[in-house]
Amino acid sequence: MTFPVIQSVLDGAALAAELARRFDIAPPVKCRLISRGMNDIYEVRSAHGRHAVKVARAGKADDAAFDYEQAYAQHLADAGFTVPAPMIGRDGKGFFSVDAPEGRRQIAVMKWLDGTPLTKAMSADDARRLGAFLARLHQSVENFNPPSPRSPETERKINERLPALVEMVADDPQSAQFLRHTASDVVARITAMDRAAMPFGAIHGDFQYANVMATPGGALATFDFSDCGQDFLGRDIVTFFWRSDFDGVGDALNPAFVAGYQSIRPLTPAELAALPLFRVARHLLITASMAEFVNRIGPIPGFDGKLADYIAMIRRFAPASTK
């Protein structure tokens, strides 16, 4: 009997053959795995040049949710942003699905982006520019008509993954209690927010700087829409905060990022008031996700810190009432 598995890597040769069959790309088609994380990313070379292929993690999204993601990327591309726009297959669709041993996985061929991913080694001016870029991204999706509904479901995921985190700190009952209490409080407060109280629409979902690159021409490009969906726009701001907090540059970069954002789209008072809550929710989500998925993917960049550091960040940003 086959041993149970929770993640797999598709055979590159079989994948190349499948792509050649489904997409208008000329042989020889060569796939090279360039990133193995929650999703697997391949570089595909063919007589038609280079493309990126994403093989989504099983269980991350159903086909309808993945369709939203592709439509979002296409909408941004149509609006003039440099993003990995989906390539349309011979069947007129922007992706297909296969059954992997651990479950169903969606596969999309996308435009290849040349450029250098941004890192924490950026100036406040760079962060300001990034903030303005995100605001323009948000402005551009005001007329986005998604093919199906999709929400990042941050609060549901926090609730679902929290037990794995609590189990990880089983030998520290005080931390376990703090995490349970904070998660319960934060989830309840965000769930009670009125959707009409703040700008709401399609968000990137993971606008950390590792998902933004500088193109050779000096423009900014963004990718990895795995966590996109309909949510409060302000939540995208705290995805940037999370990564800079994690890398120890939050105090230096976050104010400039927000100033840059506001130079294009001023935040409402309600949004400004909600940011601290969104921020701690983001820290809770990432920490609980790390606990949930570390046995699937092992430590990877952004998921490789010490648990104590993650929890210290949650403590730092948690509402005073839960500390």
Partner 1 sequence: MAFPVIHSTLDPKALKAEIARRYVLAEPLDCRLINRANNDFYEIRAGRERFALRVAKANFRPDEAYAYELELLTHLHQSGCRVPVPLRARDGALFFTVEAPEGVRAIAIFGWLSARPFTNKLTAADAADMGAALARIHIAGRTFRTNYHRAVNNSAYVKQHMPALSDMLANSPEDRAFYLKAEALVHDAYVKIARDDLPKGQVHGDFQFANVMRDADGAIAALDFDTCGEGFLAEDIFTFIWRSDMEIRDEAVNEAFIAGYQRVRPLSEAERRALPVLRVARDLVMCTTYAILINRVGPVAGFDGNFADFTVLARRHLAMTGLA
Q: How far apart are CA 264 and CA 130, in angstroms?
A: 11
Beta carbon nearer to partner 1, 267 or 288: 288
Beta carbon nearer to partner 1, 10 or 71: 10
**What are the tokens at 30?**
């060569």
Q: How far apart are CA 320 and CA 210, in angstroms?
A: 31
Q: Find the shortest distance in angstroms from Cβ 231 to partner 1.
A: 30
Instruction: Assign 179 to helix, strand or coil.
Output: helix
- Residues engaged in binding partner 1 (CB under 8 A): 1-12, 14, 18, 28, 30-36, 40, 42, 45, 98-102, 105, 294-299
Q: How far apart are CA 272 and CA 283, in angstroms?
A: 18
Instruction: Catalogue the long-range contacts made by 116-119 (C-beta closer than 8 Å, 24 or more residues apart).
Output: 116/213, 116/214, 117/209, 117/210, 117/211, 117/212, 117/213, 118/209, 118/210, 118/212, 118/213, 118/214, 119/209, 119/210
Burial class (CB in 10 A: 0-12, 13-18, 19+), 216: exposed
Q: Find the shortest distance in angstroms from Cβ 169 to partner 1.
A: 13
Beta carbon nearer to partner 1, 40 or 69: 40
Q: Find the shortest distance in angstroms from Cβ 30 to partner 1.
A: 7
**What are the tokens at 234?**
């302000």
Q: How many CB atoms lie within 10 A of CB 269?
A: 9
**What are the tokens at 273?**
């008031």
Beta carbon nearer to partner 1, 134 or 165: 165
Q: Find the shortest distance in angstroms from Cβ 53 to partner 1.
A: 12
Beta carbon nearer to partner 1, 75 or 105: 105
Q: Find the shortest distance in angstroms from Cβ 224 to partner 1.
A: 16
Beta carbon nearer to partner 1, 33 or 275: 33
Beta carbon nearer to partner 1, 78 or 114: 114
Q: Find the shortest distance in angstroms from Cβ 28 to partner 1.
A: 6
Beta carbon nearer to partner 1, 53 or 256: 53
Q: Find the shortest distance in angstroms from Cβ 13 to partner 1.
A: 8
The kind and range of the H/E element at 103 are strand 103-111
* 28 upstream amide cis, omega within 30 of 0: yes
Which residues pair with residue 200 across a beta bridge?
Answer: 232
Q: Find the shortest distance in angstroms from Cβ 32 to partner 1.
A: 6
b/e 298-315 (16+ beta carbons within 10 angstroms → b) = eeeebbebebeebbebbb
**What are the tokens at 36?**
């193995």
